[in-house]
Amino acid sequence: MGRALLVVPSLGFSVTQYRRVRELLEKEGFQAQVAAPRSGEIRLTGFSLKPDLELGQAKAGDYDLVIFIAGRGNRELWNSQEAHRVVREAVATGKVIGASGAAVAILANAGVLQGRRATGPLSLAVVLKDKGAQYTAESVAADEGIVTLRHSEGFDSFARELLQRVRGREEVRKAA
């Protein structure tokens, strides 16, 4: 179906969400690649992952979908110029972008949530509003090509929304 970029922090992320996202994408025919701030294996309790590329090498235009995986380690990326560049490229090139949990702050700090509906953990509500987002406490919020998830309980709805938006953009491209 397409290509997806999964962005994970080097300092810890939701392994459960990473596995679910990757499994779902591959089931839907996506080729998934993983980017992290640094090269080298990421070791978490009972899990390790070798990213395909460093975040600085990622080009959002090469993918149909960019997803920032949830986890407290995302604080490492909140002010990352590389993460912000990928986010802005994704939006500028009309790609679908998703973020969940603490990763939503990356989108806010990149400036792409200004005037858009977004959700995230209640602990980030003030940050999101300060960055111009129209914060909602709903489980999933979608505004054009940006989909945000408040917490993992809404994962299935988040995944469906992301896939629906990618399919919608493909149909528009085919019709043009």
- 48: CATH: 3.40.50.880
| Containing structural domain, residue 9 | 2-175
pTM over 0.85: yes
Q: Are 30 and 3 in contact (CB under 8 A)?
A: yes
- How many domains does one find in the chain? 1
pLDDT tens digits, 104-121: 999 999 999 999 999 999
* Own/partner long-range contacts of 111-117 (Cβ < 8 Å, ≥24 apart): 111/84, 112/87, 112/88, 112/146, 113/146, 116/143, 116/144, 116/146, 117/141, 117/142, 117/143
Angle between helices 15-27 and 155-175 (to 10 degrees): 40
pLDDT tens digits, 18-39: 999 999 999 999 999 999 999 8
